[in-house]
Amino acid sequence: MSADPIELGERLRAGDAGAAPAALNLIEDRSPEGREQTARLLATLSPSALGGEAPAHVIGITGPPGAGKSSLLSALLRAWRAAGVSVAVLAVDPSSKRSGGSLLGDRARIDHDPADRGVLIRSTAAGERLGGLAAPTGEAVAALSPVFDRVVIETVGVGQSETAVEDVADTTVVVVQPGSGDTLQFLKAGIMEAPDVLVVTKADLGDIALRARGELTGALAAIGASRVPVLAVSSLPPARGVEELIEALDHHRAGLDLVAIRSSARRSAAIGEFSAEYGERALGALGGRRGAERLLAEQPSGAAVNELIAALCQASRQ
Predicted confidence (pLDDT) per residue in 41-52, tens digit: 999 999 999 999
What pTM was estimated for this model as a whole?
A: 0.88
Is the predicted pLDDT of residue 11 greater than 60, yes or no?
yes
Alpha helices, DSSP H, located in the chain: 5-13, 20-28, 32-43, 47-50, 69-82, 137-144, 182-189, 207-222, 242-254, 258-278, 280-285, 288-297, 305-317
Mean pLDDT of all residues belonging to the chain: 83
Q: How far apart are CA 94 and CA 83, in angstroms?
A: 32
Q: How far apart are CA 179 and CA 209, in angstroms?
A: 8
- For residues 297-309, average pLDDT: 89
Domain 54-255 has CATH 3.40.640.10: no
pLDDT band at 62 (very low <50, low <70, confident <90, very high): confident
Q: What pLDDT digit, counting tens, does each position of 85-111 carry?
A: 999 999 886 543 333 443 344 444 677
- For residues 275-291, average pLDDT: 90
pLDDT band at 194 (very low <50, low <70, confident <90, very high): low
Is the predicted pLDDT of residue 253 greater than 70, yes or no?
yes
The torsion of the CA quartet 146, 152, 157, 162, rounded to 10 degrees, works out to 30
- pLDDT, residue 104, reads 43
Residues 6+ apart with CB under 8 A from 207: none
Instruction: Delimit the domains of the chain by residue range.
Output: 1-52, 54-255, 259-317
- Interhelix angle 32-43/305-317, nearest 10 degrees: 120
Q: What pLDDT digit, counting tens, does each position of 207-225 carry?
A: 888 888 888 888 888 878 8
Task: Name the nearest CA neighbour of 152 among 95, 101, 85, 241.
Answer: 85
Within 10 angstroms of residue 279's Cβ, the number of other Cβ atoms is: 11
- pLDDT, residue 129, reads 46
- pLDDT, residue 188, reads 60
Q: How far apart are CA 292 and CA 312, in angstroms?
A: 7
DSSP 164: G
Q: What pLDDT digit, counting tens, does each position of 132-168 carry?
A: 455 688 899 999 999 999 999 988 655 544 456 777 8
Q: How far apart are CA 8 and CA 18, in angstroms?
A: 10
Q: How far apart are CA 20 and CA 112, in angstroms?
A: 18
